[in-house]
Amino acid sequence: MNGIHLAHAAFFTAALLILAWPLGAYMARVYEGRACGLDRVLGSPERFLYRLCLVNPEAETDWKAYARDFLWLNALGVLAVYLIQRLQGGLPGNPAGLPGVDPFVAINTAVSFATNTNWQSYGGETTMSHLTQMAALTVQNFVSAGSGMAVAVALIRGFARRETDRVGNFRVDLVRSVLYVLLPLSVVLALALVWQGVPQTLEASATARILDPGARPQPADGQARAAEGPAGQVIALGPVASQVAVKQLGTNGGGYYNVNSAHPLENPTPLSNLLEMLAILLIPAAFCATFGIMVRDRRQGVALLVVMTLLFAGFALLTLYAEQAGNPALAVLGVDQARVPGEAGGPGGNMEGKEVRFGVAGSALWATATTAASNGSVNAMHDSFTPLGGMWPMLLMQLGEVVFGGVGSGLYGMIVFAVITVFVAGLMVGRTPEYLGKKIEPFETKMAALVILIPPFACLAGTALACVVGPPGAVSNPGPHGLSQMLYAFSSMGNNNGSAFAGLSAGGPFYTLAGAVAMFVSRYWLVVPVLAVAGSLAGKRILPGGPGTLPTHGPLFVAMLAAVVLLVGALTFVPALALGPVAEHLALHGAR
């Protein structure tokens, strides 16, 4: 493996960890209501929002009321996004004159953006008006991300508090998440992206002049190309930078353009690529620090961050190794894949489906980051990765989106795995398990089991249904690769990720409706059990540790937690992976 590639990955990981801890400390101050600096500027708008929405910021609720507020807001979000899409043909902010969105695509998109999945069964620049992109999709990027952050904070309070049924106020936590965290970071990142060349305009399009119009190839029938005007190529524009910023920071991932962050106007330079990758994992990593500070034991946050970082690094190296090895089918033809343009003459690899400006290293690292987080953005087409190069990012999603994961959802997912880990450890020594001084009893264990089992059920049941009744024309490459396409799609939707293999036509009724169900179940059927655990833990006393208490901040616990995460994923998905990417890998290498 090339040293430059390793240095690239090491620099990215180091930058992420350096930035995560101060942000996590700042977020802890925000959620605890302490002075954070920005409250001097944003305090008045915050209080105005509370008065406007008739919210008492001092009133807290139990977990049931917290969950009810969460579900009601998300239901309204689904309805609003659906209606804006369907009516966009008659609404302002539509300079391209795009018609209303197909009802099946509209319901899929509405559920997708409300659940923080951002799976896209459409081409953004040819389907959604400026108003839809801004008022529906970008707004939901903030609201869905803020909702997940609020749930994570409620679970943290469950560990930090004792003998109470109060877990916070969802409306206050949502406002603070958006106003103090997502909005300021999005403004900074959007300005940086505009500096790098990402458009931010209300213009419909621009026309790129062609230097030699006579050399432009024409279709056989002599008709003009749809995307070309008389003077050159017509390029869609719009408020791109603002949406890209929050799509990455909120681990949403829904791109303004159809090819997402592989588009040269959505991700134009290596620097924009680095900034966007950092944005994808920054808040999920920072939440580990927030957790440690709010439970008054920073070592607990460090332990979770170490587990996430080790798993991320392992999968990044595996993906990079698989892609750098190249495509054996091309090697048989005598194609030299050792050197690839755009990578300083260094070792290349499989460049199919990748942008030259990012190369193998930038594409493999992005694929790992976006599937480790609950983020659906891509800067290369995963369908063109080698079989194993596509399998490792797929498995990262299947682990439950807990290796950093989504904003908020990654933390509460990893905490659920920690609960299962201490339960298993308790069985080994024959005593009631404890985590942060709270006894883990049957109720918490049952809720944790639901959170772990529901996403795999949505993934595997959806894939099985697609194999039996799915439209045959949707799969571009039947056989093991076709199974990988379907498995990846439902792994993405069933874990609220949103990235796609790019070889599956998912715009028809079957995939839009089945995907909407998978996304709905995997978001809301997990949030309610997580909040139930928060409420149960908040009502318990914090017990002092004893000789039989398992320390949950040391190397032993870190190793056990990482093993539990990997074992659950392996036991659940290895049979399906063996029939898809593993079988394709063996066939590609001539194994029988």
For residues 321 and 79, give the distance between their C-alpha atoms in angstroms, rounded to a whole number: 44
DSSP E strand boundaries for 133-204: none
* Strand 228-229 relative to strand 232-236, pairing: antiparallel
Q: Residue 526 has what pLDDT? A: 95
For residues 363 and 380, give the distance between their C-alpha atoms in angstroms, rounded to a whole number: 6
Encoding tokens for residue 32?
């605890």
Q: Which residues of 245-274 are buried (b: 16+ CB within 10 A; e: fewer)?
A: bbbbbbbbbbbbbbbbbbbebbbbbeebbb
- CB neighbours of residue 510 within 10 Å: 15
pLDDT in tens, the chain (592 residues): 567 778 888 999 999 999 999 999 999 999 999 999 999 999 999 999 999 999 999 999 999 999 999 999 999 999 999 999 999 999 999 998 999 999 999 999 999 999 999 998 888 888 999 999 999 999 999 999 999 999 999 999 999 999 999 999 999 999 999 999 999 999 999 999 999 999 999 888 888 877 766 655 555 444 444 455 556 788 888 899 999 999 999 999 888 998 899 999 999 999 999 999 999 999 999 999 999 999 999 999 999 999 999 999 999 999 999 998 888 777 777 666 665 554 444 456 888 889 888 888 899 999 999 999 989 899 999 999 999 999 999 999 999 889 999 999 999 999 999 999 999 988 887 777 889 999 999 999 999 999 999 999 999 999 999 999 988 888 888 889 999 999 999 999 999 998 888 788 888 899 999 999 999 999 999 999 999 999 999 999 988 877 777 889 999 999 999 999 999 877 899 999 999 999 999 988 775 4
Q: Residue 338 has what pLDDT? A: 60
- CB neighbours of residue 301 within 10 Å: 26
What are the φ and ψ backbone dihedral angles of 400, each rounded to 5 degrees?
A: 110, 15
Picking from 511, 276, 531, 526, the residue whose alpha carbon sits closest to that of residue 379 is: 276
Per-domain residue ranges of the chain: 3-206+233-283
Helix, strand, coil shares of the chain, percent, nearest 5, are 65, 5, 30
For residues 408 and 150, give the distance between their C-alpha atoms in angstroms, rounded to a whole number: 7
Q: Is 444 helix (H, G, I), strand (E, B) or coil?
A: helix
Encoding tokens for residue 208?
């790129």
Angle between helix axes 298-324 and 3-31 (nearest 10 degrees) is 150
For residues 548 and 254, give the distance between their C-alpha atoms in angstroms, rounded to a whole number: 47
Q: Residue 344 has what pLDDT? A: 42
The answer to whether residues 392 and 561 touch, using CB atoms and an 8 Å cutoff, is no
- Phi-psi group of 166: left, alpha or beta (phi > 0 → left; psi -120 to 50 → alpha; rest → beta): beta
Encoding tokens for residue 179?
């106003």
For residues 224 and 202, give the distance between their C-alpha atoms in angstroms, rounded to a whole number: 26
For residues 276 and 436, give the distance between their C-alpha atoms in angstroms, rounded to a whole number: 34
| HEC sequence for 74-110 | HHHHHHHHHHHHHHHHHCCCCCCCCCCCCHHHHHHHH
For residues 301 and 289, give the distance between their C-alpha atoms in angstroms, rounded to a whole number: 5
Burial class (CB in 10 A: 0-12, 13-18, 19+), 104: middle
DSSP E strand boundaries for 135-226: 205-209
Model pTM greater than 0.75? Answer: yes
Q: Residue 213 has what pLDDT? A: 63
Q: 120-123 contacts: CB < 8 A, separation 24 or more? A: 120/254, 120/255, 120/258, 120/376, 120/498, 120/500, 121/506, 121/507, 121/511, 121/512, 121/515, 122/258, 122/507, 123/257, 123/258
The answer to whether residues 322 and 382 touch, using CB atoms and an 8 Å cutoff, is no
Burial class (CB in 10 A: 0-12, 13-18, 19+), 218: exposed
Q: Which helix (H) or strand (E) holds 583?
A: helix 583-588
Q: Which whole-number Å values give the CA distances from 507 to 123, 329, 460, 489, 490, in the listed order?
A: 10, 31, 20, 12, 14
Chain centroid to CA 108: 17
Q: 438-443 contacts: CB < 8 A, separation 24 or more? A: 438/158, 438/159, 438/537, 438/540, 438/542, 438/543, 439/540, 439/543, 443/532, 443/533, 443/536
For residues 13 and 120, give the distance between their C-alpha atoms in angstroms, rounded to a whole number: 29
Q: Is 522 helix (H, G, I), strand (E, B) or coil?
A: helix
Q: Residue 221 has what pLDDT? A: 47
